[in-house]
Amino acid sequence: MAELTVRCFTLMLLIIIAVWNTSLFESCDARRGGHWRHRAVSASLSSKKTKSHSGHSSHNNHHSGSKSKPKPKAKSPPKEAPVEPPVDDAPPQKGDSKTYNVLDFGAKGDGNTDDTKAFQDTWAAVCKVAASTMVVPSKYVFLVGPISFAGPNCQHNIVFQLDGTIIAPTNPKAWGKGLLQWLEFTKLIGITIRGNGVIDGSGSVWWQSTPLDDPDNEEKLIIPINKTLVHLPVPQISPEDGVKMPSIKPTALRFYGSFNVTVTGITIQNSPQCHLKFDNCMGVSVYLITVNSPGDSPNTDGIHLQNSRQVLIHSANLACGDDCISIQTGCSNVYVHNVNCGPGHGISIGSLGRDNTKACVSNITVRDVIMHNTMNGVRIKTWQGGSGSVKGVLFSNIQVSEVQLPIVIDQFYCDKRTCKNQTTAVALSGITYERIRGTYTVKPVHFACSDNLPCVDVTLTSIQLKPVQERYHMYDPFCWQAFGQLYTPTLPPIDCLQLGKPSSNRIQSDHDVC
């Protein structure tokens, strides 16, 4: 009897702790202003659509898509940071490693003073000491211009502890003729950015200044029922002095040529262009991060990978105006799981093979993803005339809700009006789709493969996609030169997939093979 009471008591205690933890986690998320973070998949799938997706409300209020969770995120960081649980908060020091606080190097953190020099000086000190930490403290807003935190002569395993906010200048003069990135980390071995701070690219001054660089090919498939429905332009916001921003738009945070890169805890928002980019990196780990930009902000990819291997991305909330994750040429061994995507254009491999280039991508896994109100779900896009291959791709357990085109292979990718028909192509093989479920608003499956190099080993298991008439013309599944297997019946039936192998698959010449 007494034993039973003790057990009951223990159980209650556990429940209390669990509930307490949950609420802590929520408050943390809300503070960081993530966009859409319902973990309750079934609820979001079954709920009737309530959104207006107007997509052109005022620039800092783009949360129309989310259901009932209003998000009280102010544009400027809170002056009084609410009590929040540390996210990844091993104390900055361990052993004999040193910390260097930007405030001690003259940074003001008032949101107006240019703190670029102070950041450069802090980096110069941090760079000399292995496993040291550069601290960007909370409750401050640092205005920092384009900056490169560069090796290769730095010590290894540096930590960039970001708890405050870093904002980008909106004065065109800060950008010269235009730069490809704002905050750059290059040629480092062991570099970690962590904390619960914010990187804010002040993107709104850039978004309207230039037309879309690369309008998405798939938009051709999305035809409004009501022709009078036109896409309104993004509202005009003038940069300082009324001068135009350069036409080249920077990526907010870019890593180049580095080994063992970790990014965790932080929020990256309102980037002029791509939010987080990895190029030529080996060993990348990104988790517990938030990307947040309006669904109609042009070319604002969430995470962009290029020529990078051994990449792990998980537990991320990605809301942006282009691909939530984009995997480009030279990537292999990429594992993405537990990601929320939306708004955005989905998760894409490509585009690959532009201007007759060779592209090699292999061993990519994307699983346990929730997509809401995105243009595409999971997509592979290649240009005609390319070479190389995409091999070994698994898309598993992707929950889609009101996604226009959940499953896309497009080997005729073209951002111009017309592209020439060409015989060579990036070869696609071993593309597995399993448990892709939810609702679509335009077309459930679109497989457009090359005439000369058909897609092979495309397999589908447990596909359940239901139509939701929204405001577009709707289509049946489409396949062209797509070969593979259906391991289970699919909803809707995908009769257009050709079972087995193509009878005459042209073989790529040796120099086209990866």
Q: Kindly state the smallest distance separating residue 133's Cβ from ligand NAG, in Å.
A: 18
Q: Kindly state the smallest distance separating residue 416's Cβ from ligand NAG, in Å.
A: 12
Q: Which pair of tokens denotes residue 336?
A: 């993405």
Q: Kindly state the smallest distance separating residue 431's Cβ from ligand NAG, in Å.
A: 15
- Residue 228 in contact with ligand NAG, rule: CB under 6 A: yes
Cβ neighbours of residue 125 under 8 Å, at least 6 residues apart? 100, 105, 132
The only residue of 280, 338, 363, 452 in contact with ligand NAG, by rule CB under 6 A: 363
Closest CA to 193 of 157, 167, 169: 157
Over the window 395 to 434, marking each residue x when it contacts ligand NAG by CB under 6 A and - when it does not, the resulting string is -----------------------x--x-------------
- Residue 189 in contact with ligand NAG, rule: CB under 6 A: yes
27/478 with CB nearer ligand NAG: 478
Contact (Cβ atoms closer than 8 angstroms) between residue 220 and residue 149: no
Residue 314: count of CB within 10 angstroms of its CB: 16
The only residue of 53, 171, 335, 337 in contact with ligand NAG, by rule CB under 6 A: 335
Closest CA to 121 of 139, 137, 134, 140: 134
Contact region with ligand NAG (CB under 6 A), list: 88-96, 222-230, 268-276, 316-324? 222-230
| Furthest-apart CA atoms within the chain: distance in Å | 82
- Residue 477 in contact with ligand NAG, rule: CB under 6 A: no
- Residue 285 in contact with ligand NAG, rule: CB under 6 A: no
146/283 with CB nearer ligand NAG: 283
Closest CA to 88 of 315, 253, 312: 315
Contact (Cβ atoms closer than 8 angstroms) between residue 201 and residue 175: no
- Residue 502 in contact with ligand NAG, rule: CB under 6 A: no
What are the angstrom distances between the C-alpha of 448 and each of 51, 412, 475, 507?
Answer: 31, 7, 14, 19
Annotation says 345 is catalytic:
yes
- Residue 64 in contact with ligand NAG, rule: CB under 6 A: no
Contact region with ligand NAG (CB under 6 A), list: 43-51, 197-205, 224-232, 320-328? 224-232
Q: Kindly state the smallest distance separating residue 262's Cβ from ligand NAG, in Å.
A: 10
What are the angstrom distances between the C-alpha of 420 and each of 118, 134, 504?
Answer: 51, 51, 24
The only residue of 190, 195, 250, 353 in contact with ligand NAG, by rule CB under 6 A: 190
- Residue 259 in contact with ligand NAG, rule: CB under 6 A: yes
The only residue of 57, 120, 148, 260 in contact with ligand NAG, by rule CB under 6 A: 260
Residues composing the chain: 514
- Judged by phi (left if over 0) then psi (alpha if -120 to 50, else beta), residue 31 lies in alpha
210/363 with CB nearer ligand NAG: 363
Contact (Cβ atoms closer than 8 angstroms) between residue 165 and residue 77: yes
Written as one string, the DSSP assignment of 41-82 is HHHHHHSPP-------S-TT---TTS-S------SSPPSSPP
The residue annotated as part of the active site, out of 345, 372, 446, 473, is 345
Q: Kindly state the smallest distance separating residue 306's Cβ from ligand NAG, in Å.
A: 17
Catalogue the active-site residues: 345
The residues of the shown chain that bind ligand NAG, judged by CB under 6 A, are 189-190, 226, 228-229, 259-260, 283, 333, 335, 363, 365, 418, 421
